[in-house]
């Protein structure tokens, strides 16, 4: 049996899960919105979803749940069937779409934010076409290298959604220039697209993790619940390319601005 078939068989025997909401007391009441966090993944793999990447998504999930408690924001870290994108199967994107549908089944007609990191950010961008999705947060998105023979990464599904891309300039795993090019294409048909660059930070965005989480909260709460955006984010959304797509994330963001 070919490797791809083995991968498909292994993943098909499992199912994605939404699990318990992060940082919330049960039973839930008055849910006003949902943010689904999509962990990083791998290009090709039949292995089970990574515990390490799941744990890495928890700090942002907790921060978002706490910041949006007043509006009834619920945060879930999606548990994939497996950790691989796996070519045309696009398994992480399929699991993200399933998660949005499941959130609507659980909570009703509420706005949803997809927030992903790395391969999870690509899944978030791909699954944005679901009618319940209001906004997308893509942290250090993994995107395929440009290839004239290949179909470009789609952006049509982002129309009508507010989109924020955040990328470290020293990311050695996912090329920041590719996320810029995608944001540039998305901005042409969707003015509510912006991108921040985190100077000297890497793929995990640890060096300025507090600032990234503050920016994420500002974006998610402003997008889902119409809270006013902090000035840098409002400026980035309003600015034309390239300014709004190469906005520097200032050290101390969230301490000097409302987050």
Tell which residue, 32, 30, 36, 31, has the closest CA to residue 18: 36
- What pLDDT is attached to residue 256? 55
Write out the two tokens for 152.
Answer: 């470009």
Q: Write down the domain spans for the chain.
A: 13-248
With a cut of 80, say whether residue 200 has pLDDT above it: yes
Torsions phi, psi for 2 (to 5 deg): -65, 155
Interatomic CA distance for residues 16 and 57, integer angstroms: 16
Question: Could you read off the pLDDT of 19-73 as tens digits, one per residue?
Answer: 899 988 777 788 999 999 999 999 999 999 999 999 999 999 999 999 999 999 9
User: Which CATH entry fits the domain spanning 13-248: 3.40.50.1240, 3.40.190.80, 3.40.50.1820, 1.10.260.40?
Assistant: 3.40.50.1820
* Torsion from C-alpha of 25, 113, 105, 76, nearest 10 degrees: -40
Percentage with pLDDT > 70 across the chain = 91
Question: Could you read off the pLDDT of 99-140 as tens digits, one per residue?
Answer: 999 999 999 999 999 999 999 999 999 999 999 999 999 999
Yes or no: say if 197 and 251 are a contact pair by the CB < 8 Å rule.
Answer: no
Confidence of residue 4 (pLDDT cuts 50, 70, 90): low
Yes or no: say if 75 and 22 are a contact pair by the CB < 8 Å rule.
Answer: yes
Which residue in this structure is represented by tokens 């947060």?
Answer: 137
Write out the two tokens for 71.
Answer: 């509006």
Question: What average pLDDT does the structure give for the chain?
Answer: 92
With a cut of 80, say whether residue 192 has pLDDT above it: yes
With a cut of 80, say whether residue 183 has pLDDT above it: yes
Mean pLDDT of all residues in 200-218: 97
Confidence of residue 163 (pLDDT cuts 50, 70, 90): very high
Interatomic CA distance for residues 9 and 185, integer angstroms: 36
- Rg of the chain taking only CA atoms, in angstroms: 17
């Amino acid at each position: 049996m070919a490797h791809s078939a083995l991968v498909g068989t292994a993943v098909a025997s499992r199912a994605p899960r939404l699990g318990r909401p992060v940082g919330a007391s049960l039973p839930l009441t008055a849910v006003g919105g949902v943010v689904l966090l999509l962990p990083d993944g791998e290009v090709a793999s039949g292995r089970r979803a990574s515990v390490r990447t799941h744990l890495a998504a928890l700090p942002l999930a907790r921060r978002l749940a706490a910041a949006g408690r007043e509006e009834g924001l619920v945060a879930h870290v999606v548990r994939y069937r497996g950790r691989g994108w796996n070519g045309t199967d696009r398994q992480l994107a399929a699991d993200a779409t399933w998660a949005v549908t499941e959130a609507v089944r659980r909570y009703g007609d509420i706005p949803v934010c997809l927030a992903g990191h790395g391969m999870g950010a690509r899944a978030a961008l791909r699954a944005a076409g679901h009618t319940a999705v209001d906004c997308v947060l893509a942290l250090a998105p993994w995107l395929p290298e440009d290839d004239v023979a290949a179909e470009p990464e789609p952006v049509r599904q982002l129309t009508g959604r507010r989109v924020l891309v955040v990328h470290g300039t020293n990311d050695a795993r996912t090329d920041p220039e590719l996320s810029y090019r995608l944001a540039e294409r998305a901005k042409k048909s969707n003015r509510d697209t912006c991108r921040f660059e985190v100077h000297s930070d890497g793929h995990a965005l640890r060096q300025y993790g507090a600032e990234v989480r503050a920016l994420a909260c500002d974006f998610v709460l402003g997008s889902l619940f119409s809270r006013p955006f902090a000035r840098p984010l409002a400026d980035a959304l309003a600015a034309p390319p390239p300014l709004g797509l190469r906005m520097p994330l200032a050290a101390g963001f969230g301490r000097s601005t409302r987050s």
